[in-house]
Homo-oligomer: A and B are copies of this chain.
């Protein structure tokens, strides 16, 4: 029955997990230094976070050892990464925001929105993207450009 721990991950811990996921993803082993660099945080902070994630059984971790995701950790990281991707896609493909703003905003908002909102957002992107009668993204781009410079 899985002990039913209510332990929601904090935004910080989600960030750590996400970076570990991406580092593992790109073939490399997730090293403490890389995690620190990836999050702009001290190595000492990483050590603390690794202990927490390890206690929650989301990563395999021994002091001075390599860091890998457990199955449970991969599932969690997957959820986070998916949330991130949906948001980033929405910001770029629907709102037409630049890549940097989109990524930064997704990073911050991904911790604040639940599965219901993200799921609906995913549906919305699909819905808008799949429409055949006119390209709404293009039309919207024109709309807000005209708005920005009302009479230039």
Taking Cβ atoms with an 8 Å cutoff, the residues of A that contact B are 91, 94-97, 101, 105, 108-109, 111-114, 116-117, 120-121, 123-124, 127, 133-134, 136, 139-140, 143-144, 147
Chain B's nearest CB lies how many Å from the CB of A81? Answer: 17
Copies of this chain: 2
B109 touches A124 (CB 8 A): no
A143 in contact with B123 (CB, 8 Å): yes
> Do most interface residues of chain A lie in helix, strand or loop, or is the interface mixed?
helix
B117 touches A113 (CB 8 A): no
Question: Does A105 contact B113, Cβ atoms closer than 8 Å?
Answer: yes
A142 to chain B, nearest CB (A): 10
Nearest CB in chain B: distance from A17 CB, A: 18
B108 and A120 within 8 A (CB) = no
Contact A117 B95 (CB under 8 A): yes
Q: Which residue of B lies closest to A98 (CB)?
A: B116
Q: How far is the CA of A97 from the CA of B117 in the complex (A)?
A: 8
B-side contacts of A143, CB under 8 Å: 123, 127
